[in-house]
Amino acid sequence: MQASRKARTIGVTLLTAAVMAATLSGCSSSNGSSKDAASGSYTFWDPYPQYDASSAWAKAVAQCGTDAGVTIKRTGYDTTDLTNKALLAGQQRNSADILLVDNPVVSTLADAGILTDTKENGLSTGKVSQNILGAGVLDGKTYGVPIGANTLALYYNPKVLQAAGVDPASITDWASLTDALAKVKAAGKKGITFAGIGTEEGSFQFLPWFWGAGADLTKLDSPKAIAALTLWTDWIKQGYAPNSVIQDTQTTTWQEFQTGDFAFGENGTWQKASAADMGASVITIPAEGGGAAPVPTGGEFFTIPVQKDSARYKTSAKVIECLSSGDNIVKTDNTLNYIVASTSGQQAQLSSDSSLKTWVDAVRVAKARTGDNLGTKYPVISQQLWTAVQKAESGAASPADALKAAQDAVNAKLKK
């Protein structure tokens, strides 16, 4: 899967967007009044510039437009560029009819007054799993529906584990995982690689351990949060994880795992085809005390921006409901490597491909990064979280001191 499908590097963009939102709030957008909202052309922006008109994705978009009686004019932008263009278009009252945006961006656009909520636009959310839908909820209103979800798990190399005498089924919590890493190192191989870079990718990869300790994003310096960061830093100190994690992206850490020297690599659904090619398998990321850790939901949301001609919402909703039904994921080649957002769709997906069970299990316990009504507070919190991770990984500060500084910075920025 291409690098653009990984967890999006949204932190700086959203911080900028949050500032812009204050000036945009309350403005409405328009493509101009349509004589017949049930026909004609509809504009659609998505974050998939890698897919041209001949791709399965573009064909699915076009077909859903045809089924709704309209022609779709689709444009794919880089994720960061899409967010900025969506904010600018809202300010200029010239929004696209449909926006497909990275899920943490939904709160920013909604807070800016650019998006309609589902009560206004008629989008149905009844079949969507609540933990996935949470990324589109702000102040009790829902502003879109997910196309699906991707998330993180632990890939493992069976050959490395076998040589070290480790049964992957024995890895059920942090203690058993750390024990496995020690055995792998003793056998002359490398333990685990992950992306600890100072961007949103770093936060994205750290959250399963943070949440797996029972920590909460509203209190970065809690004992549970400290336990999670100490886990990572101890792995580095003990040589179970390489020093390179401090600068590794999800792409570079995957390249490390592909060398065949590592027992484990934390990465996402977008690497499952590559993993199969090298003979790697996957398990859910364990929580500290056992069971699957909550993992962050990745993926995009379909949203309907405010239009002068509100009659257009009905047709936009038809197009979105076609694309978000899960049929394109279950019945086609699943170009986007997503897990369906509904329980029934997930079951159909498993019936079609039983190898997805670990991923379905992970998605079912996943959490939205902007959930718990964090909304536009999330990018502020995330930036301080990845900064703390960087300080601790480098040895510039202890996990406790790094997280205390992070919480102090969040309090100052959000004026708590």
On whether both 304 and 287 belong to a single domain, the answer is no
On whether both 252 and 380 belong to a single domain, the answer is yes
On whether both 35 and 92 belong to a single domain, the answer is yes
Q: Any idea of the CA torsion for 309, 311, 312, 316, to the nearest 10 degrees? A: 150
Per this entry, what is the length of the chain?
A: 416
Q: Indicate whether 30 pLDDT > 50.
A: no
Q: Is 53 left (phi over 0), alpha (psi -120 to 50) or beta?
A: alpha
**pLDDT score, position 81:** 92
**pLDDT score, position 156:** 98
Residue in the structure block whose two tokens are 């336990």: 227
Nearest 5°: the CA angle 261, 264, 270 is: 105
Mean per-residue pLDDT for 52-78?
95
Residue 369 within any structural domain of the chain: no
Residue in the structure block whose two tokens are 């038809």: 318
**pLDDT score, position 291:** 96
pTM given for the model:
0.88
Mean per-residue pLDDT for 173-189?
98
Q: How high is the mean pLDDT of the chain?
A: 90
Q: Read off the pLDDT band of 416 (50, 70, 90).
A: low
**pLDDT score, position 336:** 73
Residue 75: which domain range?
A: 3-150+298-364
On whether both 157 and 285 belong to a single domain, the answer is yes
Residue 351 within any structural domain of the chain: yes
On whether both 85 and 116 belong to a single domain, the answer is yes
**How far apart are alpha carbons 192 and 289 in whole angstroms?**
19
Residues 374-408 as b or e (16 or more Cβ within 10 Å = b): bbbbbbbbbbbbbbbbbbbbeeebebbebbbbbbe
Q: Indicate whether 29 pLDDT > 60.
A: no
On whether both 350 and 383 belong to a single domain, the answer is no
On whether both 100 and 136 belong to a single domain, the answer is yes
On whether both 191 and 311 belong to a single domain, the answer is no
On whether both 156 and 145 belong to a single domain, the answer is no
Count: domains in the chain: 2
On whether both 397 and 263 belong to a single domain, the answer is yes
Which of residues 345, 364, 383 is at a domain's end? 364
On whether both 307 and 229 belong to a single domain, the answer is no
Q: Indicate whether 59 pLDDT > 80.
A: yes
Which of residues 364, 387, 404 is at a domain's end? 364
**pLDDT score, position 35:** 53
Residue 121 within any structural domain of the chain: yes
Q: Indicate whether 13 pLDDT > 50.
A: no
Q: Indicate whether 402 pLDDT > 50.
A: yes
Q: Indicate whether 392 pLDDT > 80.
A: yes
Q: Indicate whether 2 pLDDT > 50.
A: no
Q: Read off the pLDDT band of 255 (50, 70, 90).
A: very high
What percentage of the chain has pLDDT greater than the value 70? Answer: 90
Mean per-residue pLDDT for 63-74?
97
Mean per-residue pLDDT for 46-52?
93
**How far apart are alpha carbons 249 and 285 in whole angstroms?**
18
| CB-CB contact of 164 with 180 (8 Å) | yes
Residue 171 within any structural domain of the chain: yes
Q: Read off the pLDDT band of 326 (50, 70, 90).
A: confident
Q: Indicate whether 15 pLDDT > 90.
A: no
**pLDDT score, position 304:** 98
Count of CB atoms situated within 10 Å of the CB of 28: 15
Q: Per-residue pLDDT tens for 118-150?
A: 999 999 998 999 999 999 999 999 999 999 999
Q: Read off the pLDDT band of 8 (50, 70, 90).
A: very low
Q: Which two tokens stand for residue 257?
A: 């795992």
Q: Indicate whether 362 pLDDT > 90.
A: yes
Residue 142 within any structural domain of the chain: yes
**pLDDT score, position 79:** 86
CATH assignment at residue 188: 3.40.190.10
**How far apart are alpha carbons 126 and 77 in whole angstroms?**
30
On whether both 396 and 256 belong to a single domain, the answer is yes
Least confident segment among 43-57, 106-120, 203-217, 332-346: 332-346
Residue 162 within any structural domain of the chain: yes
Q: Read off the pLDDT band of 332 (50, 70, 90).
A: low
**How far apart are alpha carbons 101 and 86 in whole angstroms?**
9
Q: Read off the pLDDT band of 234 (50, 70, 90).
A: very high
